[in-house]
Amino acid sequence: MQRSKSALLAGAAMLLALIAPAHAQIANNTIKLGVLTDLTGIATDSTGVGSVAAAKLAIEDFKLEKPDIKVELLQADHQNKPDIGGAITRRWMDLDKVDAVLDVPFSSVALAVQEATRGSKTAFIASGPGSSLLTGEKCSPNTVHWTYDTWALAHGTALALLKAKKDTWFFVTADYAFGHSLEKDASDVVKEQNGKILGSVRHPPGASDFSSFLLQAQASKAKIVALANAVNDTVNSVKQATEFGIQAGGQELAALLMQVTDVNAIGLQGAKGLYLTEGFYWDSNDGTRKFSDRFTAAVGGGKRPTAIQAGVYAGTLHYLRAAAAANTTDGQKVVAKMKEMPSKDPLFGEGTIREDGRHIHNMYLFQVKTPAESKAPWDFYKLVETIPAKDAFRPIAEGNCPMVTK
């Protein structure tokens, strides 16, 4: 009788082990995240503390769904240097046991982080970088690329201008991975549509004087002077193009990556009429406006979120939901669950993640308003066209991602 009772107890213990608490594989019921961003450099306005704030808002919303899971958040400045970004990532992985690295503006840094996390237990949820290599030839089972990429930006803006017979182009390109990718992707569109590339120049990131580059663009007589750069480089090149009278001389500017913080820095008088492609705009609907009010309250200064910061929020929220659903923080397993689960949030709506790690959602072609059209602070864009998710990003077969089933 005693043995029978012991056997029953042992069987009960085994049964309890099999139906262990839902989060038993999440160590200490804690998920640890790290926002690796630009806190002091040229992208700090469009990423930086705003990206940290966006991640915190995602954690707040996740806690409403799963109050029993604790989420810790670290932050670090990669100083826009790949070696520093890679070193911080490895330290976070080895010493701090960070489960996911978030944001990472600058493609060169993001590619270093992607290699550091590849094959590890840490996920990489990229919102800041734009290089389409992240889901192309260099794709990784640890990575999800959320907000935008050079292919989406180039195709959205270039196709619209080419349809309007703006068919001769000159590129002013930032001399690093992102700029190169952006110029290539836009050039491909121009050539496919029987347009002509009349020339290109490359400038160092963080340049202050664009005069020699803009004079070459002006001399080319190209209908479109395409700025394949970002943040302060875009701001300075647009301001100086206006001073050189490029638009007044009949040429038009296409900013292949522009964000609301860039328009705010330039001013509507200088930025008016520019076409740009974005995945998010703070004033699109009630959901984006509600989030933006929370964001503004968190960061202060009346600032509205950029698309990159919105992507940090959405990517973080989907990662946390997937980790909870998969009952693990193993990076590759969580990313696999993220691909399995459709995403849904008030900023990007409904979306999916492809086999190559590319998050798929609508993109939007906007035009910058004139000062007369703007009715309030940060009222910068008017919607020209919605680019459906199925058309917004590079076809998966064209990316040459080794993970994609042929």
Q: Which CATH superfamily is domain 151-278+364-387 in?
A: Response regulator (3.40.50.2300)
At residue 143, φ and ψ (nearest 5 deg) are -115, 140
339: three-class secondary structure by DSSP = helix
Q: What token pair was written down for 121? A: 């237990």
Kindly list the domain boundaries of the chain, sorted by start residue.
28-148+284-361, 151-278+364-387
Smallest Cα–Cα separation from 126: which of 39, 34, 232, 53? 34
The answer to whether 205 touches 232, Cβ cutoff 8 Å, is no
The answer to whether 315 touches 66, Cβ cutoff 8 Å, is no
- C-alpha of 36 from chain center: 13
Q: What token pair was written down for 284? A: 């699109």
Q: Which residue has the tokens 């997937």?
A: 322
* 338, HSE (Cβ side, Cα atoms, 13 Å): 34
Which pLDDT belongs to residue 164? Answer: 87
CA distances from 59 to 52, 134, 136, 338, 349 (A): 11, 25, 30, 17, 18
| Region of 11 on the Ramachandran plot (φ > 0 left; ψ -120 to 50 alpha; else beta) | alpha
Which pLDDT belongs to residue 405? Answer: 83
Q: What token pair was written down for 301? A: 């200064």
* 142, HSE (Cβ side, Cα atoms, 13 Å): 22
Distance, CA of 370 to CA of 303 (rounded, Å): 20
Distance, CA of 154 to CA of 358 (rounded, Å): 16
Which pLDDT belongs to residue 247? Answer: 87
Which pLDDT belongs to residue 42? Answer: 86
Which pLDDT belongs to residue 20? Answer: 41
Which residues does the chain have with pLDDT short of 70? 1-24
Architecture of the domain delimited by 28-148+284-361? 3-Layer(aba) Sandwich (3.40)
Which pLDDT belongs to residue 1? Answer: 44
The answer to whether 237 touches 225, Cβ cutoff 8 Å, is no
Judge whether 28-148+284-361 and 151-278+364-387 match in fold.
Answer: yes
Which pLDDT belongs to residue 21? Answer: 43
Which pLDDT belongs to residue 19? Answer: 43
Smallest Cα–Cα separation from 281: which of 178, 182, 384, 371? 384
CA distances from 269 to 103, 214, 274, 277 (A): 31, 19, 11, 20
